[in-house]
Amino acid sequence: MSSTESINLLGLDTAALTELVGKWGGKPFRAKQLQRWIHQRGADSFDDMTDLAREFRQQLTEHCSIHAPAVSIEQRSTDGTRKWLFEVDKSNAVETVFIPEDDRGTLCISSQAGCTVACPFCSTGYQGFNRNLTTAEIIGQLWHAKRVLQADLASARVGDDAQAGPEPARVISNVVMMGMGEPLLNYDQVLGALRLMVDDNAYGLSRRRVTVSTSGVVPMIDRLGRDCPVALAVSLHAPNDALRDRLVPLNRKYPLAELLAACNRYLEFAPRDFITFEYVMLDGVNDSDDHARELIAVAQQVRCKFNLIPFNPFPQSGLKRSPAARIRLFAQRLMDAGLVVTVRKTRGDDIDAACGQLAGDVKDRTRINERNPDRAIIAIKQERG
């Protein structure tokens, strides 16, 4: 970084912010004050930080900034889901989704511009991959969404003091790293964002309410357990190596046996006593009774629960969603074996905000579609024989 380049404080955790403040002769509590202003109050101007000394605010103004990626598009679904398209540079944009529920508000954020894993049922994978997001770009999605939602809630309450409802700081109660990209392939930057999410001077989220979803990067699962254990979801999607090699190509590097062993190691540190296995339901591909029996065998090896996800079609995939009756029967097979099973409700599909639909806008460095444009169709033909 050049001597004249502004330091974006949005991406600095407590240790980095304390070190920066210390260089100017400031004490560690100043870093905590800064964090509270930035992440809890959503400040983007140092002039607003009235409990900081004027000289210190002047230093901050000269050398630092607070800025999230710019929003180019915001969409609202008929079911209340909201989606933002963030520009992370001139060539790339990523998507973030807020899903309101009666008992929670979940923000789904992105960690990469595109994705290298290239699962055939995920529209992000069809864009290929350009780059990792920085910690500031990752946490900036949460920072912006929280500011917008707090402002909306405050506006709705004007003139209606008696109206019951959640406090603004509780609008976003859960954060899931399930947006664009594979979080554990951008480990260092994601780790910085996670630490801010659970820091009491930043967002103060419970580790149980922050979830990292991975397709199975085994070494990084182990590191996350040591560095910042949060809830873990694994994109399983197949009960055996042969099928998972096609649906989750990363399985060729880290096959099921290694993945399940890593899940068991993670449980020693995890804030929850189970791993969530995500399983997208693909018609005629992974939804048979035989597949259900194989999944039951998988569940006997790891304390887990299953989240069945109705596939959200997009034109390039060549795949179809399992019929509702088949999903119910599949779920019942698992529950009859004593497993905990949920079926994810499809939200925001009218604005392409549902699971697997996030596409953003990525300048592909991998040229993935040029290398294998028919990979999904090939996978179906192989499975159906």
Asked if residue 329 belongs to a domain, the reply is yes
Residues 270, 257 within the same domain: yes
Asked if residue 2 belongs to a domain, the reply is no
- Counting the structural domains of the chain, the total is 2
Contacts with 180 (C-beta within 8 Å, 6 or more apart), sequence order: 94, 95, 110, 111, 112, 113, 114, 115, 124, 358, 359, 360
User: Which amino acid is present at 37?
Assistant: W
CA 283 to chain centroid: 26
Q: Which positions are annotated as active-site residues?
A: 95, 355
Closest CA to 315 of 348, 359, 364, 381: 359
Higher model confidence: residue 266 or residue 102? 266
User: What residue has token string 């392939």?
Assistant: 185
Residues 321, 187 within the same domain: yes
Give the number of residues written for the chain. 385
- Taking only the tens place, the pLDDT of each residue in 63-97 is 999 999 999 999 888 888 899 999 998 889 999 99
Give the pLDDT band of residue 281 (cuts 50, 70, 90).
very high
Say which CATH number the domain at 44 has.
Answer: 1.10.150.530
Residues 116, 258 within the same domain: yes
Q: Which domain holds residue 342?
A: 70-384
At 5 the pLDDT is: 79
- Mean pLDDT value across residues 273-284: 97
Query: Beta partners for 342?
Result: 307
Residues 323, 229 within the same domain: yes
- Half-sphere CA count of 25, side-chain side, radius 13 A: 4
Residues 128, 162 within the same domain: yes
Residues 144, 55 within the same domain: no
Of 45, 65, 85, the position where a domain reaches its end is 65
At 1 the pLDDT is: 44
Asked if residue 1 belongs to a domain, the reply is no
At 156 the pLDDT is: 72
CA 3 to chain centroid: 33
Residues 181, 237 within the same domain: yes
Closest CA to 179 of 221, 140, 223: 140
- Mean pLDDT value across residues 2-19: 86
At 352 the pLDDT is: 53
Q: Is the dihedral of CA 256, 262, 263, 264 positive or negative?
A: positive
Residues 314, 281 within the same domain: yes
Separation CA 164–CA 162 (nearest Å): 6
Residues 218, 287 within the same domain: yes
Give the pLDDT band of residue 317 (cuts 50, 70, 90).
confident
- Taking only the tens place, the pLDDT of each residue in 175-199 is 999 999 999 999 999 999 999 999 9
Give the pLDDT band of residue 283 (cuts 50, 70, 90).
very high
Say which CATH number the domain at 224 has.
Answer: 3.20.20.70
Residues 19, 124 within the same domain: no
- Taking only the tens place, the pLDDT of each residue in 224-272 is 999 999 999 999 999 999 999 999 999 999 999 999 999 999 999 999 9
Please state, rounded to an integer, the average pLDDT across all residues of the chain: 87
Asked if residue 147 belongs to a domain, the reply is yes
At 314 the pLDDT is: 77
- Mean pLDDT value across residues 287-299: 98
Structural contact between residues 213 and 235, judged by C-beta atoms closer than 8 angstroms: yes
Residues 190, 215 within the same domain: yes
Asked if residue 206 belongs to a domain, the reply is yes
Asked if residue 312 belongs to a domain, the reply is yes
Residues 231, 107 within the same domain: yes
At 63 the pLDDT is: 94
Of 33, 65, 97, the position where a domain reaches its end is 65
Query: Beta partners for 233?
Result: 213, 276
Of 65, 86, 111, the position where a domain reaches its end is 65
* Cβ neighbours of 73 (radius 10 Å): 13
Helix (H/G/I), strand (E/B), else coil: 233: strand
Structural contact between residues 336 and 64, judged by C-beta atoms closer than 8 angstroms: no
Separation CA 208–CA 24 (nearest Å): 36
Closest CA to 310 of 298, 326, 296, 290: 326
